Amino acid sequence: MSSQSNRVVIFDTTLRDGEQSPGASMNLEEKCRIAALLEDMGVDVIEAGFPIASNGDFEAVNAVAKQSRRAIIAGLARATRADIDRAAEALAPATRKRIHTFISTSPLHMKYKLQMEPDAVLQAVKDSVSYARSKVDDVEWSAEDGSRTEHDFLCRCVEAAIAAGATTINIPDTVGYAVPDEYAALIAMLIERVPNADKAIFSVHCHNDLGLAVANSLAAVNAGARQVECTINGLGERAGNAAMEEIVMALRTRADRMPYETGIDTTLITRASRLVSTVTGFVVQPNKAIVGKNAFAHESGIHQDGMLKNAQTYEIMTPDSVGLNKSTLVLGKHSGRHAFRDKVKALGYDLDDARLNDAFKRFKDLADVKKEVFDEDIAALVDDEILRAYDRIRVIDLAVVCGTRGPQTATLTLDVDGDRKTVTAEGDGPVDATFKAIKAIVETTARLQLYQVHAVTQGTDAQAEVTVRLEENGKTVNGQGADTDTLVASAKAYVTALNKLLVKREKTAPAGAGA
Ligand code: KIV
Ligand code: ZN
């Protein structure tokens, strides 16, 4: 593949750069689930983590490598032998593997972050890439803070990286500073000036600090880049990374202006967005392009009228093309296990018998209290079921007394590592009482940073989906819970967040880790 080809490689970094977003940490099972879905979507390269950052990262990359089928699995490494060794070890089981090594090249980063002279950085590029090539055939080299790097020096580094064996050259806009014409010109300049540029694919990796990550990435594709690094829902540090769904749908919808192809099955976009949101607890903003709740909603009379006459009047892509089916009334309380299994499968889940049984039981409970059960309800319920499968703390029972008279009390039973404990706590309102009850059972210094509720579907019997963000010792985690009872959903969300804190590995990335 070269800048002449019209195929754009999609490199997903949800599990690495996306996970660097504060509070977005995922455990091994969650990463494996996301990776499996990314493969189903047709993602070309899955960056599964930064193996030297922690044992948890190493194990996650290793597990994703083991389960991988067709996608290239990438592991991040700084320009050191220890990082590269660790990445190679983690990636070993993958059928197709890539070491992604990087070093900063901008004057600011070299002077203050690396405290290295440019010549030493250039030497590190040569050494790290050739060492990585001694481990795997597929090596990507990134110039961290590439968009703020002096051009002559960048050309020398890129040429050296390709000469040392890098087959993909990534030029990140690490701090989201670039604007589209400037960034496109940078890529064009490199392809033009670097003598061995034709031996590598040029890649872009844009952060969204100015809201330009997608625009910058697309401009760079027009200038010859053929790999785009992105994340589902634009997850990532600070303002995030370029959103994969936006890149892919822009290329597809505007093929007239951008005649490039990706291998992505766009009908899995909604499913992936939802999974990443559930796992991380990062709710997608309603007006988010492609995957926001309102992205295909037409509220005003004029628009609705136009839509009825011809959908193209106000719709540039169909909801179906991103896997968003109209809310369908799917099942009722008389539906059997067979119908439920078929529906779960059609929604893209692959559950083993035990989990299917648990989910079916919960579906029956839900159908008892909710007349109409929609696709979204089933998805929320199954996600909830799967996410709880590895939890050490579980909500068993909750009874709340609330109303104007007070005091509001919550009597709660939790299962903690197989032991059931029940307490009653008073609080300033039912949510406060519920959270106090949890804290009376599970000792924690975690502080609540966010409590958010939204309805999965419409109507007063809708399931509530609650997000709770907790902070403990500088670490932030999000937990989500869904239930027709908002307080039960709240308890589940809080407990999910606590479970994440319990399993949260030492995530402190080593000094110099990329943005
Ligand atoms: O933003 C960045 O520069 C990065 C690199 C490590 C690729 O994430
Ligand atoms: Zn980044």
Over residues 215-240, the pLDDT tens digits come to: 999 999 999 999 999 999 999 999 99
Q: Give the bridge partners for 144, in sequence order.
A: 104
Strand order in the sheet with 393-401: 393-401, 408-416, 419-427
pLDDT at 344 over 90: no
Comparing 434 with 278, the larger pLDDT belongs to 434
Kindly state if the Cβ of 203 falls inside 6 Å of ligand 1. Answer: no
Residue 451 C-alpha from the chain's centroid: 21
Q: How confident is the model at residue 23 (pLDDT cuts 50, 70, 90)?
A: confident
Q: How far does the centroid of ligand 1 lie from the alpha carbon of residue 428, in Å?
A: 45
Ligand 1 atom nearest residue 170's Cα: 7
Kindly state if the Cβ of 141 falls inside 6 Å of ligand 1. Answer: no
Q: Which residue in 33, 36, 43, 54 sits closest to 513, CA to CA? A: 54
pLDDT for the residue 124: 98
Secondary structure (3-state) at 276: helix
Q: For the whole prediction, is pTM greater than 0.95?
A: no
- For residues 469 and 10, the answer to whether their CB atoms sit within 8 Å is no
Please compute the mean of the pLDDT values over residues 97-118 and round it to a whole number. Answer: 98
Taking the C-alpha atoms of residue 434 and residue 414, their distance in angstroms, rounded to an integer, is 12
Beta strand extents in 264-381 (DSSP E only): 329-331, 373-374
pLDDT tens digits along 61-71 = 999 999 999 99
Q: How confident is the model at residue 503 (pLDDT cuts 50, 70, 90)?
A: low
pLDDT at 509 over 70: no
Helices (H), 223-319: 244-253, 269-280, 301-309
Please compute the mean of the pLDDT values over residues 445-455 and round it to a whole number. Answer: 90
Neighbours of 254 (CB within 10 A): 13
Task: Provide the percentage of residues in the chain whose pLDDT is more than 90.
Answer: 65
Residue 422 C-alpha from the chain's centroid: 36
For residue 231, the 8-state DSSP code is B
Helices (H), 314-452: 337-346, 353-369, 375-388, 430-441
pLDDT tens digits along 130-184 = 999 999 999 999 999 999 999 999 999 999 999 999 999 999 999 999 999 999 9
Length of the chain, in residues: 515
Contacts of 439 (CB under 8 A, 6+ apart): 425
Ligand 1 atom nearest residue 13's Cα: 8
Taking the C-alpha atoms of residue 84 and residue 232, their distance in angstroms, rounded to an integer, is 26
The pick from 11, 16, 142, 206 for probing ligand 1's pocket by mutation, whose C-beta has the most ligand atoms within 8 angstroms, reads 142
Comparing 470 with 264, the larger pLDDT belongs to 264
Structure tokens, 85:
């060794």
DSSP string, 123-134: HHHHHHHHHHHH
Helix axes 353-369, 337-346, angle to 10 degrees: 100
Ligand 1 atom nearest residue 514's Cα: 6
Lowest mean pLDDT among 41-45, 377-381, 436-440: 377-381
Task: Provide the percentage of residues in the chain whose pLDDT is more than 70.
Answer: 94
The pick from 102, 106, 173, 241 for probing ligand 1's pocket by mutation, whose C-beta has the most ligand atoms within 8 angstroms, reads 102
Rg (CA), the chain: 24
Q: How confident is the model at residue 513 (pLDDT cuts 50, 70, 90)?
A: very low
Please compute the mean of the pLDDT values over residues 330-334 and round it to a whole number. Answer: 73
